[in-house]
Amino acid sequence: MNNRDLIDLLNAQHRLEATQWAQLFETYTDEDLEYAMALARDITVKNFGKTIYFRGIVEFSNYCKNDCYYCGIRCSNKNVSRYRLSPEDILKCCDEGYAAGFRTFVLQGGEDGWFNDERMCEIIRTIKAKYPDCAVTLSLGEHSRESYKKMYDAGADRYLLRHETADETHYDILHPAHQTLENRMRCLRDLKEIGYQTGCGIMVGSPGQTSETMAKDMVFMQEFEPEMIGIGPFLPHKDTPFKDKAAGSVKLTLFALSLCRIMLPWVLLPSTTALGTAEGDGRKMGVLAGCNVVMPNLSPLEVRKKYMLYDNKAGTEISASDGIAILRRQMEEIGYEVVVGKGDFRKGDQL
């Protein structure tokens, strides 16, 4: 079957075989990319209108006990100046975000033991008490089922945990031996069962990735049916073992995003900061590929540069309000409007 027929088949049945996914990633042309992007865009506009949900991200700690080989804040990187925001600072970021129209706060950080269950639950409860009309999304890495449950009961609504790759050999290229794909997947299953709107995802072009590993990612996601998918290009960081590796392809990232939209027409799909870093217009292109979420940074300017996951990360030199204004304008330039609203996952009639 040719690639265009495969994309049509995906649109009809919302799933493909691993070999069909691999064929798409291995052999797609610029025309296939355009075709997939146009289809994905149509689906997004039909389901969500020309509206984009904004989520305010607060990067509250760059302490991390993990040592992911790709990540700039890995524990072995001694050149990082470590910080953690106080609960009061985190709330201030939310105050600023609320005033700017945000109704989702994403609390993201390294795996920092200082933020134990008790402290996290207190922070979640405080935000939800002050802003009951807002969603709290967590992105705190791997924890026990009990911790996830406590934070859910404290009021957290959503959880982002990229699976990074669904292929074990590839997972082991990206992480030290004690970090396992098995545990990452256990976490994702627990999160979904507890009731979180759950996000998984990958970096496109991470070292060791192939069309076959990406096919496994797609097969995993079509089974798992996440409510959110985070996909951005891998970008090297100078203080990691992958410093000399090539950055992931923007085209392939856009193709993967479009295919995710066609596969899961209602999924919440952010156009990521990494995409905006790889290419100035990246986040606009992401929207034109079927994304419907953008996540401006609400972290205080003083700490932005310290949450450097990869080199030259976009938005580290501008204030939260300037960053929001720029993104809003970028969305308007392509005819999309930013909406105030929680933007929960909902599943309407599939196309």
Binding part of the chain for ligand SAM, among 24-32, 229-237, 278-286, 343-351 by CB under 6 A, reads 229-237
Q: DSSP secondary structure string, 3-45?
A: HHHHHHHHHHHS---HHHHHHHHHH--HHHHHHHHHHHHHHHH
Q: Does 286 bind ligand SAM (CB under 6 A)?
A: no
> Does position 111 bind ligand SAM by CB under 6 A?
yes
For the CB of residue 46, give the shortest distance to ligand SAM in the complex, in Å. Answer: 29
Kindly state the smallest distance separating residue 275's Cβ from ligand SAM, in Å.
10
301 to 320: interface string for ligand SAM, x by CB under 6 A: --------xx----------
Quick one: 312 or 321, whose CB is closer to ligand SAM? Answer: 312
CA distance 57 to 158: 13
Q: How many CB atoms lie within 10 A of CB 243?
A: 11
Residue 215: CB atoms within 10 Å: 23
**Nearer residue to ligand SAM within complex by CB, 4 or 84:** 84
Among 97, 110, 207, 270, the residue binding ligand SAM under the rule CB under 6 A is 110
Residue 21 CB, shortest distance to ligand SAM, in Å, is: 20
Say if strands 51-54 and 56-61 run parallel, antiparallel, or are unpaired.
unpaired
Nearer CB in complex with ligand SAM: 60/336: 60
C-alpha distances in angstroms, 57 versus 72, 234, 281, 290, 344? 18, 20, 20, 21, 16
Rounded to a whole number of angstroms, the minimum distance from the CB of residue 312 to ligand SAM is 11
Q: Is there binding between residue 234 and ligand SAM (CB under 6 A)?
A: yes
Beta carbons of 198 and 233 less than 8 angstroms apart: no
Should residue 69 be labelled a site residue for ligand SAM when binding is judged by CB under 6 A? Answer: no
Nearest distance, CB of residue 51 and ligand SAM, angstroms? 26
Q: Which residue has the tokens 């952010």?
A: 270
Contacts for 271 with CB less than 8 Å, ≥ 6 apart? 257, 282, 283, 284, 285, 286, 287, 289, 291, 293, 294
Among 44, 47, 108, 213, binds ligand SAM (CB under 6 A): 108
Binding of ligand SAM at residue 141 (CB under 6 A)? Answer: yes
Beta carbons of 275 and 249 less than 8 angstroms apart: no
Tell me how far, at minimum, the Cβ of 59 lies from ligand SAM, in Å: 8
Task: Return the H-helix or E-strand segment holding 137.
Answer: strand 135-139
Footprint of ligand SAM on 5-64 (CB under 6 A): none
Shortest distance, CB of residue 197 to ligand SAM, whole angstroms?
Answer: 16
3-state secondary structure of 61: strand
Q: Is 221 in the site for ligand SAM (CB under 6 A)?
A: no
Tokens of 103: 């109704």
Q: Which is nearer to ligand SAM, 18 or 246 (CB)?
A: 246
| Cβ–Cβ under 8 Å, residues 269 and 237 | no
Give yes or no for residue 70 binding ligand SAM (CB under 6 A).
yes
Q: Which is nearer to ligand SAM, 6 or 160 (CB)?
A: 160
Binding mask 263-282 for ligand SAM (x = CB under 6 A): -----------x--------
Distant-in-sequence contacts of 241-245, Cβ < 8 A, 24+ apart: 241/69, 242/69, 242/70, 242/207, 245/207
Closest distance between ligand SAM and the C-beta of residue 102, in Å? 19
Cα(70)–Cα(218) distance, rounded to whole angstroms?
A: 21
Task: Annotate each residue in 146-175 with x if it binds ligand SAM (CB under 6 A) or - if it does not, as one string.
Answer: ---------------xx-x-----------
Helix axis angle for 30-48 and 250-263, nearest 10°, is: 40
Sign of the alpha-carbon torsion through 11, 15, 18, 19: negative
**Binding positions for ligand SAM, rule: CB under 6 A:** 70-71, 108, 110-111, 139-141, 161-162, 164, 203, 232, 234-235, 237, 274, 309-310
